[in-house]
Each structure stands twice: as structure tokens, then as C-alpha cells.
Amino acid sequence: MTETIRWGVLGNATIARVCVIPAIQKSCNGTVRALATSEPSKAKEVADKNNIPYVFDSYDSLLADPAVDAVYIPLPNHLHCPWSLKALKAGKHVLCEKPLACNMAEARMMADTAEDTGLLLMEAFMYRFHPRNRQIKKLVDTGAIGTPCLVRSAFCYSMDEDILKSSGNARLKPAMGGGALLDVGCYSVSLARWIFGLEPTHLQAQAIYHHSGVDVHFAGSLRFSDSGLATVEASFISALQQTYSVVGSQGAIELPHNAFIPWEKDAEFTVRGKDQENGQQHVIPGADEYQLMVEHFGEAVLGKTKPIFSLEDSVSNMRVLDALAEAAQTGKTISF
């Protein structure tokens, strides 16, 4: 393999067009060789804009290209597992959009296949690569706010009423892995587990369900060991909430409403002391977290570094998401 990762992209999804394809093309170690879509005519503009030399009319055709080293999968949730498995079996490394799968059983199968093939499979949790989040994690780990006691996290937005009524969007279809918990709640669950560096022991949840059957408004609580608690909020029917805070025994860290996707703007956060009403504001220079993610993935494929979070971390995240969904559906406390 050369020092440049040659990427293939399965599907012409918005996240691929707007975020990941440009990030790969800007990266220091990757280039997009091919884009696969069932409607090549609609992908021509994207290919031309991003200097992508090949457009295939099927995903299988892209996977059969021996010059493709790795694939990015931005497909709807229910297609993450089957196409990741096909890509791995075709000898391709895989960067798969979040959530890794629709449930833990699928995630386990994907992880086992990656191990069997000796290829890299990574979940595209780009927020873990942003310098602001990495700085906050470092502050927590070094005791800057004492012992972490509470993580509050929310990722909520308002879906267009016409979309909610029509139920045509994949996010509103149970068979396609829809629902607010999987779509955006996965960030908050991942964050809480990352900040505490632990797995939860008990879970509770409540949800409001769409007439299609998916959750559109979700709130959950997680208990970590003796003193750690977390709340997660996810919604398709509320005003914007995209933030988190970490409260410790000696202080707190708070973010504005761009916590997971600050784009490339300067990223701010505030650190307050134990008894302070107003804390000190910190500013992290703007960065493209998608570019940082694909560059890290490329370095890992080339054997120059190890992934900053493991595939087992992603499997464990799916385990917690499964349990939260069960807690909301049954009204029971789920214990691990």
C-alpha cells in the first residue's frame, strides 16, 4: 500500500458530500478514488467538484475495485452492518458512520469480522477528534474539576413538520434504524462513557414515540459506579440543544450549543470553580474534526498509530443504546 489511502464512498449522502468527502480531499494522507451511487447522474456534480475520478453505479462495483484501500459508509443505519461486512470481506478497511449498527448483536458481528480479516473498522465519531473535546477530557482526567460527578448531554433539533407527517425520512422508519436515540443520542451516550472512563451500571429512560414507532423525544439517565451520574437527551421535536457539561466535586465545564459539531469556527468552553457563578472562558482555534478523523484513520491503516478509541468501545456503546431503548419501552431500570 502507498502512503496515500485511496478511498471509496458508498452512497451520495449529505454527510458524505458536505463533511467527509471534502475532509478526505483536504487530508494529508488520503484521496477519494471512487463514489458509488444508484443514480450516477446525481453524483456527477459532487465528483466534479471534489475531483473524484470514478463514479460507480453500484456499491458492489466499487468494492470490486482493487485500487480502493478503504471505504466510508454514510448509508442509513440498517445498512451499516451488511455493507461493512461486505467491504471487510472484500479486503477494504471501513470507516462507518455512527451509530456503528442498529444493535449490539450487529456491532459484535462487525467487530468479529474485522478481527478475522485483520482490517480496520472504525465508527465515525468525529467529535472525539476535536481539540476542544480532547482538551476537556484531559482537564477531567488530570483533576482540574475534582472528581467528575455528573455529565449532562443533549443533542436535539426540530425536524420539519412535513417530514414528521409524511414519515418518509429514514430517521422515522423503525426498519431502517430510525429514532432520536440512535441518530443523535448515540453521541451523548458515547460522551458520558468517555468522560467517566467507565461503563454504566444502571439505566432508566422515557421517550415520546412517533406514529411510525420510533422515538422522537428521549431522555435517559445513567449511573456510573457510586457517585457518577449522566443524563442524555435526544429529540427531533425540540428547539436546538447541542451541548454538554461536566460537573465535578471542585468545578464544572460548560459548552455552548455547538458541542459536537462546531464546524471550523473557534470553539469555546467555560471552566467554573466550585463556588463560582461565572468561570473562565477558553477558546480553541477552529479545526475540521472530520479531517482530523480521516487523517487519524489513515495513519492507523498505514500502521503509524493505533486508533484513539477501540472497536470494543463502539460495541459497548451499542450495548448501552440497546439498554436505554429497552428501559424507555418497558419503564424498567436496566442493570448491567
Closest CA to 283 of 262, 299, 297, 308: 262
pLDDT at 1: 62
Assigned CATH class of 5-124: alpha beta
**Beta-carbon count within 10 A of 308 CB:** 14
Q: What is the pLDDT of residues 91-100, one digit of tens each?
A: 999 999 999 9
pLDDT at 102: 98
**Span 251-274, average pLDDT:** 98
Kind plus residue range of the DSSP H or E element containing 5: strand 5-10
Phi-psi sector, 225: left (phi>0), alpha (psi -120 to 50), beta: left
Residue 291 pLDDT greater than 80, yes or no: yes
More confident residue, 306 or 226: 306
**Span 11-33, average pLDDT:** 97
Residue 230 pLDDT greater than 70, yes or no: yes
pLDDT at 226: 77
Q: How confident is the model at residue 42 (pLDDT cuts 50, 70, 90)?
A: confident
Residue 157 pLDDT greater than 70, yes or no: yes
Assigned CATH class of 127-293+317-335: alpha beta
Q: What percent of the chain has pLDDT over 90?
A: 95
Instruction: Enumerate the domain spans of the chain.
Output: 5-124, 127-293+317-335
pLDDT at 225: 87
Q: What percent of the chain has pLDDT over 70?
A: 100
Beta bridge partners, 153, equal 232, 244
Please give the mean pLDDT across all residues of the chain: 97
Report whether the peptide linkage leading into residue 307 is cis, meaning its omega lies within 30 degrees of zero: no
Note whether 74 and 9 are within 8 A (CB): yes
